[in-house]
Amino acid sequence: MASSRVTVGLAAAAAALAGMALQVRANARRAEREHPPAGRFIHAGGIRLHYLEAGIGGPPVVLLHGNAVQAEDYVASGVFGLAAERHRVLAFDRPGYGYSERPRDRPWTAEAQAAVLAEALARLGIRRAIVVGHSWGTLTALALALNHPEAVGGLVLLSGYYFPTARADVAMISPTALPVLGDAIRYTVGPLVGRLMAPMMVRTMFAPAPVPAAFTSAVPTGMMLRPWQIKASAEDAAAMIPAAVALVERYGELSRLPVSIIAGAEDMVVDRDRQSARLHREIAASSLQVVSGLGHMVHHGAPDLVGQAIEAIAAPGQPVSAAMTASAVTAEEHTTDIG
């Protein structure tokens, strides 16, 4: 009798998990239907990358987003539009985010992501770009500058994590990156729990500033909670400390580049003194601006400051081409079930 009850219980649990998996997949597909890709695709490093492009002129500007979000974060902040007034600007979905692929064929370290982006930039005819990175995207930007110097002419680093420190969020989210167990979580309870936690997490990212409606519209929760994007976020969280360890001894090499560091004074995600201020001390020629009243999403509260940092690197005192903003081309048919 007891074994029968166990069997029935296991069957009921399996049925419940199967139902959750179907709902999670349906939610992900609905999010993609409601928010189709708005840019172009390019194949590089054996994967397909999605990117937004606008503007003309030079030097070109490349925008790399942080964890959990996608390229549209820069559109919502206004940085994309500001940069496009005077430059050719490209905002990439990093591998695994938005509509960029992230196959299981390699560890997606900062260096691996930078290698794919370097190939994409070369194919697009982009050299010596001003690379803007936010949060986790700063690690990719740094790896790009250090390992592919021909691709980078300057760095604008926003709310970055540069030096290894203990982080509770890594331990919390990393299990969803594990094989088998992580897959089970991501396709069942993970997105459902994430939907409950997402509003608080987003508020923390923006605090003490409010969450702007433009962000919620451009980076909807449904897109962030697709199982394959949860996987990318979890893998990046797990790789964050090792990425900083791998890069930290090489920061002195960046003295050859103009580097602008910007951080929110009230950042609740990354300690700006232990990260941004310390990096400024490590890179002798860098500049540091700490913005009071803003937190981790500093580019949303101070897009003009980011634009000024780009222009300071671009060619101070030299004429820039007149603004000519082009609309992004609608992307081809897509499939992103890769996680």
Neighbouring residues of 207: CB distance < 8 A, sequence distance ≥ 6 = 266, 268, 295
Residue 67 in any domain: the answer is: yes
Residue 264 in any domain: the answer is: yes
User: Which of 124, 123, 129 lies closest to 62 in space, CA to CA?
Assistant: 129
Residue 53's DSSP bridge partners are 90
Residue 205 in any domain: the answer is: yes
User: Which of 313, 330, 245, 322 lies closest to 62 in space, CA to CA?
Assistant: 313
Confidence band, pLDDT 50/70/90 cuts, at residue 184: confident
User: Which of 237, 96, 241, 268 lies closest to 173 in space, CA to CA?
Assistant: 237
Residue 213 in any domain: the answer is: yes
Which of 131-140, 190-199, 267-276 shows the lowest mean pLDDT across its residues? 190-199
Residue 274 in any domain: the answer is: yes
Q: End-to-end CA distance of the chain, in Å?
A: 40
Residue 323 in any domain: the answer is: no
Confidence band, pLDDT 50/70/90 cuts, at residue 203: very high
In a 13 Å sphere around the CA of 161, the CA atoms on its Cβ side amount to 27
Give the chain's domain count. Answer: 1
Residues 291-311 have a mean pLDDT of 98
Confidence band, pLDDT 50/70/90 cuts, at residue 157: very high
Residue range(s) defining the domain that contains residue 193 = 2-314
pLDDT in tens, 16-33: 556 666 777 777 889 899
Q: Answer yes or no: are the C-beta atoms of 323 and 85 closer than 8 Å.
A: yes
Residue 333 in any domain: the answer is: no
333: three-class secondary structure by DSSP: coil
The pTM score is 0.86
Written as six digits, the tokens of 278 are 């310390």
Confidence band, pLDDT 50/70/90 cuts, at residue 10: low
User: Which of 160, 188, 142 lies closest to 16 in space, CA to CA?
Assistant: 188
pLDDT in tens, 50-92: 999 999 887 999 999 999 999 999 999 999 999 999 999 999 9
pLDDT in tens, 230-279: 999 999 999 999 999 999 999 999 999 999 999 999 999 999 999 999 99
**Residue 4 pLDDT more than 70?**
no
The whole-number pLDDT of residue 326 equals 26
Check which CATH number belongs to the domain holding 225 and give it: 3.40.50.1820
Quick count: other Cβ atoms within 10 Å of Cβ 83?
30
Handedness of CA 116, 120, 122, 123 (dihedral sign): positive
Asked, as a colleague might, if the bond just before 59 is cis with ω within 30 of 0, I would say yes
Residue 332 in any domain: the answer is: no
Alpha-carbon Rg for the chain, nearest whole angstrom, is 20
CA-CA-CA-CA dihedral for 222, 228, 229, 232, to nearest 10: 160
Say how far residue 155 (Cα) sits from the centre of its chain. 16
Neighbouring residues of 119: CB distance < 8 A, sequence distance ≥ 6 = 44, 45
Instruction: State the greatest distance between any 2 C-alpha atoms of the chain, in Å, as a whole number.
Output: 85
Residues 291-303 have a mean pLDDT of 98
